[in-house]
Chain A
């Protein structure tokens, strides 16, 4: 299953809303996660099962979608949110990640 993320880069001002998209080449039900990765760090899970926030993740992060179309929304970007975001499907083997969306400061 090929996971396609868009856009590749998103330029956003602090306090603004960011909307990231992820499309699967075939249906993955709700078996989708979103990860955040900062330079020099391991990825951290934000959202799993398409819409459930992981432990300790702020409420400004939300996920939606099922099947082939998914969205990660950051309602009001904070300075610590500028990073790369990956989606990943775990419905089928092999597990696959999207190519990532870099959220940068506008």
Chain B
């Protein structure tokens, strides 16, 4: 299993960014996947999740209405569209695969991509 995030960078407050996570080594379309972030020097925060078929999505209250999770199963790729970014969104963003198709722990993680929100 491999998960490879991309798309991070420096963005001004109020700006937008789209993260991608390319998956390989498993049947991507069958598994729930999530975004988890970690602010500098802080703990882990779950951000968003999406079902295997992409029909069901979940969000943390801190990002609801600003972030949108989606997936393209034909490309084995997960996305996170981030709008109205704030300084407190600065973090490393990891994509993570659930152990079971619809639940369980996170058994595989990407290496993360850094998002910095600053003027």
Contacts and interface: CB of A to CB of B under 8 A. Distances in A.
Interface of A: 31, 33, 35, 37, 42-45, 48-49, 54, 86, 88, 90, 93-100
B19 to A, nearest CB: 15
B94 interface: yes
A54 B99 CA distance: 10
B106 interface: yes
A94 B1 CA distance: 25
Q: Which 3 A-B residue pairings sit nearest by Cβ, starting from the closest?
A: A33-B105, A42-B109, A48-B105
B34 interface: yes
Prevailing SS type, chain A contact patch:
loop
A95 B46 contact: yes
Contact of B58 (A35, A94, A98, A99): A94
A45 B107 contact: yes
B49 interface: yes
Contact of A97 (B45, B103, B111): B45
B56 to A, nearest CB: 10
A52 to B, nearest CB: 9
Interface of B: 34, 43-46, 49, 58-61, 94, 99, 103-107, 109-112
A94 B110 contact: no
Contact of B34 (A31, A44, A95, A96): A95
12 contacts: A35-B44, A43-B44, A45-B105, A45-B106, A54-B105, A88-B106, A90-B103, A94-B60, A95-B49, A97-B44, A98-B43, A100-B44
B57 to A, nearest CB: 11
Contacts of B103: 31, 90
A8 to B, nearest CB: 10
Nearest to B112: A42
Given A95-B34, A98-B43, A100-B43, A48 B99 contact: yes
Contacts of B43: 86, 97-100
Interface centre among A43, A88, A90, A94 (most CB of B within 10 A): A94
Contacts of A45: 99, 105-107
